[in-house]
Structure 1
Amino acid sequence: MKASLCLCPLVLFTATVLSAPDKSLIQAQCVALKNVHISAAAIGLPTRGARVTTVAMAGHPGNQHCKVEGQIEPVDTDAPDINFELYLPLDWNGKALQLGGSGFDGAIKDADTARLAPAATPGAIKQGYATFASDSGHQGGVSDASFTLNQEAWDNFAGAQIKKTHDVAVALIRQAYGRKPDRMYFQGNSQGGHEALAAIQRFPLDYDGAIAIHPVYNVVELHLAGISIGKAIYNTPGAWISPAKAALIANAVTGACDKLDGLADGVVADPDACSTTFKLAHLRCPEGKDVGASCLSDPQIALVRMLDKPVPLGVSLLTGDHFAPWPILRGADASALVSVFGSGANRPKPEASNIIISFPYMMGDQAVRYEVMRDASYDSLRFDPAAHETRLKELAVQIDNDSADIHAFVQHGGKLLLMHGTADMAVPPGNTVAYYEKLKAEFGEQELHRFARFYLAPGFTHSSGTYRVSWDSLGTLDKWVVHGIDPGQQVMTDTNKATAGREMPLCDYPLFPRYNGKGDPKVASSFTCASR
């Protein structure tokens, strides 16, 4: 079951509280944190307490900070620890930032820096934030779900680690500075975006704001869609699409749709117009037979059409029986398409293969073998979701975070920023659109706009794309929470090497950036956020 909010004792230590001046820290006080043990009573969900394992000064002169590493001990002695990292600036701004992970987690991902932050913006620690993150309670690769065989490790990954890590970090921050943070934010991308939504849905009073980028909030549905994709690729003779044909599709879509936003810049900024403009039939091979890289056979056309529409899950869950369509014909670049099709047509083996397999299928395969079937040798390409509906619904209740009931977070004064790349082939943008529409139905558009914003970033995939986004989302959120400054139209900056530095508006959904027809095309002011 989902973890519930717990109003627990604040902090209990086995070490004496340091008499650190408010908002400042010196090296001796940093080193003294090595002696701290946090009792189980200070953590809002069951553990055996937490211990600090390593403390050291880190960074460069003028940007030094105290790096704290530690472990949260599970109740089940057979379960893995939750490893965490906490970065404490010497000159603290009174705020803290919890950062999410990626994939199936299993490692601590960039605990010292905000996601997608512009290079010109000082890092979160340099701004004075205490930052922290965890491996979510197991160790391994981002595409390894074998840890889920242990119930407590699964519960931690499903959301409990968010609360446990938060409470331990707050206890250590209080120990270091003599007070808890004035503001607490959560930021994450992909699984980390999922964790951001989990944080405000499950533990709403712990957070003043959240940034969810490409959030995988209904992860069971995503993994079932991945199984459907895998079956369509590997169980259907002739369906696999080669990297050369992936480039053919990407180039054809860009050629037909690039200028629809008023500017030929390699970015499909109006994907809705593209959907009505591009004709897939133009890529069909003569008589539908595969004659090489210059066209698509009928089985390949069928695979593309499947991805371009809501993908059937094979079972009805609380969020429905289909998953959002992939933006395969809406501006995704060739490398993003290859990540979905894989590098070869051979039927993959469960654990290892001599080809790069479809990423959505690979993640779904892990979920089916370990979470559903609990059998490492199971062949997920013959999985029948309908035969395991009860188990799938049970898992969805435990890990999905699709609830629009975030009233407690809003009443607490919380603010939410959502962002998704229009070309994301790992988690389709329509999935976040669906969640935003649920929020709109729950609160009404006017009320929703008071505490939430949703931006679609043209040409951005899950982490790259024809427009690789940087965006000061943390600064935007903080100004909104602390000073009440409405985010308004945001600006994103491209970090691709060939086009680095060009700007474009990051428009409120459902608007898109249209070039005005004059002015520097690399400057955001030359665009208008437009509706179709």
Structure 2
Amino acid sequence: MRAMNWTAAAGALMVWALAAPAAKAAAPTTDCASLAGRTLPEARVLSAEAIAAGRYKAPDGTVTFPDLPAFCRVVALAETDVKVEVWLPQAGWNGRFQGVGNGGFAGNFSYYAMGPALRAGYAVAGTDTGHGPAEGKPGTRLGWMHDPTQLANWGHNSIHRMTVAAKAIVAAHYGTPAAHAYFEGCSTGGAQAMAEAEYFPGDYDGIHAGAPGMNYTRLMMSFLWSSRATLLDPASTLPAETLALLHKAVLTACDAADGVKDGVIENPPACHFDPATLQCPAGATDTAACLTAPQVTAARALYAGPRNPRTGEAIYPGLVPGSEWGWDLQQGKLLEAYVIPLFQNMAYDNLSWRWQDFDFDHDVTLTDEKVGATITAVSPDLSAFQARGGKLIMSQGWADQLNAQTYPIHYYHAVAGTSDPAQARARLGGYFRLFMAPGMGHCFGGPGPNRFDAVAALRAWVEQGKAPERLVAAKHADDRDPTSAVLRTRPLCPYPSVARWSGKGSSDEAANFTCGAPQ
């Protein structure tokens, strides 16, 4: 997602690509400036300029890089006027192409992700997905949501259009096509990753889908459900001090179950916590250290997730224990930034639509039928991607404060065609691996280790046949700064495995953990 200030980093710091051993470098065969004005079969180049090595401020001012290598910055229009930027290393190109995803409603470029990929030697591309800045505001008509072409670009097509155009520009500049292509995105970018795997399986050799908002209509309903549970009755609202109390109680109950008391729950589904244990006694006048009955009901609703009030059927998974630290977003902020603009524009074409009136019985099907096919990427059929030799890494933070953490697990089992974790691993392990990150928030941050290099793992898998048996994640002193001190490392294990401390050495070092079946 991306429509609020805090997401400038959340979508941004998906996973910074770290330097990896490069293939034989290729030098440009075409001068950067000569690309300007060229019309390729797949793209029309609007501008091309050589950028000197050193400090570089992104064109939109969102991020400043202290030390980028020299590169050729190309701006182009792809099919259906999808705007594309391609950054081409002027020296030391590793022979590979990387596409990066967007956040939220997009409308801007993910420069924060393009810089690290460039630094690692990739020719890298990003896109605005076909429309301009698109922050959602209640009661505002967002024209692109009413344009079928632009809506389809945002929902499924823009990354493909970007990729085809960018590959043509790469080949024109270096005189040879990229040997391999990789894609990385988180949140909406994770949904874009899955759209590529499902609809355009030939675009990328390796794909990382982080915290994928791939079932977008139902995800919006989960945001709406949480807001209704906590805001319709002011007595149900969970203020910051109550969330802190709730989160602390959950950790007290479940943190040490994995053998390490570190403020992180390794396997949240095994944590059976009832917020009623914190309910204030009858007649209590001081509720600072307990939850009122309406607050208990609200917390239970967030854990349960949206359900059909008539049938009891689950509409989308709930939030797991250990994610309470970020539930402030679930109480109105996500509603205003995403839910209201989307429903007012896409689903109902009515800027007077009220979130209080949504019917979780009848309106779910209506919304799915109106826009679901355009903005979701939930097909479990990845056979074409598998057949072409593609490799997929999906990751999800267990402490994600936006996405229901178990949705990727449900999808993983749907692709496998079995509910048995061991059988699913056996069927999918050759091309699709899911990594759950304990204590990780939405795309980055959170109480636990949250930075890892999925693209390097994809490269080893695609190019050397080395399937990832673990990803090492790091917790930095400043989650926004990958150069800050590392406080802890921990292996992320391919689902259904979890990390287990050996009991020897520091529990803050990944080397002292192994991956094994959950207890």
TM-score (norm. length: structure 1): 0.82
Partner of 2:316: 323
Matched, 1:421 2:412: no
Within 5 Å, give how 1:3-402 maps onto structure 2. Answer: 23-25=26-28, 29-38=31-40, 42-43=41-42, 50-60=44-54, 63-72=69-78, 74=80, 81-90=81-90, 91-110=92-111, 112-113=113-114, 123-143=116-136, 146=142, 147-273=144-270, 275-276=271-272, 278-287=273-282, 291-312=286-307, 321-327=314-320, 330-332=321-323, 334=325, 336-341=326-331, 357-359=332-334, 362-384=337-359, 386-387=362-363, 389-402=365-378
Give the 3 Å change call, closer, same or farther, for CA 259–112 of structure 1 in structure 2. closer
Partner Cα separation in structure 1 for residue 336 and residue 410 of structure 2: 22
Give the 3 Å change call, closer, same or farther, for CA 57–24 of structure 1 in structure 2. same
Give the 3 Å change call, closer, same or farther, for CA 492–68 of structure 1 in structure 2. same
Provide, for residues 270-290 of structure 1, a one-character-per-residue CA deviation record: whole Å limited to 9, x for no partner.
Answer: 3233x22x3422210122877
Matched, 1:410 2:386: yes
Matched residue type, 1:364: V
Report deviation, 1:215. 0.4
Contact 2:500 2:513 in 1 (8 A): yes
Partner Cα separation in structure 1 for residue 205 and residue 388 of structure 2: 7
Provide, for residues 120-169 of structure 1, a one-character-per-residue CA deviation record: whole Å limited to 9, x for no partner.
Answer: xxx43233211111111112245468230222221110111112111111
Give the 3 Å change call, closer, same or farther, for CA 515–403 of structure 1 in structure 2. same
Contact 2:449 2:489 in 1 (8 A): no
Partner Cα separation in structure 1 for residue 199 and residue 285 of structure 2: 51
Provide, for residues 55-83 of structure 1, a one-character-per-residue CA deviation record: whole Å limited to 9, x for no partner.
Answer: 23243388222121233463xxxxxx433
Matched, 1:491 2:472: yes
Aligned to 2:412, which of 436, 439, 446? 436
Q: Secondary structure at the match of 2:315?
A: strand
Contact 2:449 2:473 in 1 (8 A): no
Matched, 1:471 2:452: yes
Partner of 1:3: none
Mean alpha-carbon deviation: is it higher for 141-150 or for 503-512?
A: 141-150
Partner of 1:348: none
Partner Cα separation in structure 1 for residue 134 and residue 398 of structure 2: 27
Report deviation, 1:376. 2.2
Structure 2 gaps of 5+ residues are 1-23, 55-66, 480-484
Matched residue type, 2:327: L
Partner Cα separation in structure 1 for residue 356 and residue 78 of structure 2: 37
Structure 1 gaps of 5+ residues are 1-20, 44-48, 75-80, 115-122, 342-356
Q: Secondary structure at the match of 1:206?
A: coil
Provide, for residues 295-353 of structure 1, a one-character-per-residue CA deviation record: whole Å limited to 9, x for no partner.
Answer: 1111111111111114226799xxx85101112xx21252x121222xxxxxxxxxxxx
Mean alpha-carbon deviation: is it higher for 488-497 or for 173-182?
A: 488-497
Give the 3 Å change call, closer, same or farther, for CA 391–507 of structure 1 in structure 2. closer
Matched residue type, 1:82: V
Partner Cα separation in structure 1 for residue 297 and residue 415 of structure 2: 34
TM-score (norm. length: structure 2): 0.84
Partner of 1:519: 505
Partner Cα separation in structure 2 for residue 293 and residue 529 of structure 1: 41
Report deviation, 1:434. 0.7
Partner Cα separation in structure 1 for residue 239 and residue 49 of structure 2: 49
Partner Cα separation in structure 1 for residue 472 and residue 328 of structure 2: 29
Report deviation, 1:428. 1.4
Partner Cα separation in structure 2 for residue 137 and residue 314 of structure 1: 38
Matched, 1:459 2:456: no
Contact 1:55 1:69 in 2 (8 A): no
Aligned residues: 466
Mean alpha-carbon deviation: is it higher for 144-153 or for 259-268?
A: 144-153
Report deviation, 1:373. 1.1
Q: Secondary structure at the match of 2:462?
A: helix
Report deviation, 1:237. 4.0
Contact 2:247 2:322 in 1 (8 A): yes
Percent identity, please.
Answer: 27
Give the 3 Å change call, closer, same or farther, for CA 112–508 of structure 1 in structure 2. closer
Partner Cα separation in structure 2 for residue 390 and residue 289 of structure 1: 44
Provide, for residues 233-286 of structure 1, a one-character-per-residue CA deviation record: whole Å limited to 9, x for no partner.
Answer: 22224111111111111121122222111122221223233x22x342221012
Contact 1:22 1:178 in 2 (8 A): no
Provide, for residues 384-432 of structure 1, a one-character-per-residue CA deviation record: whole Å limited to 9, x for no partner.
Answer: 3515734532311122111111111111110000110011120111111
Q: Secondary structure at the match of 1:37?
A: coil
Within 5 Å, give how 1:498-509 maps onto structure 2. Answer: 500-509=486-495
RMSD of aligned Cα (Å) = 2.6
Partner Cα separation in structure 2 for residue 509 and residue 444 of structure 1: 9
Partner of 1:10: none
Give the 3 Å change call, closer, same or farther, for CA 368–454 of structure 1 in structure 2. same
Q: Secondary structure at the match of 1:502?
A: strand
Contact 1:204 1:409 in 2 (8 A): yes
Mean alpha-carbon deviation: is it higher for 429-438 or for 51-60?
A: 51-60
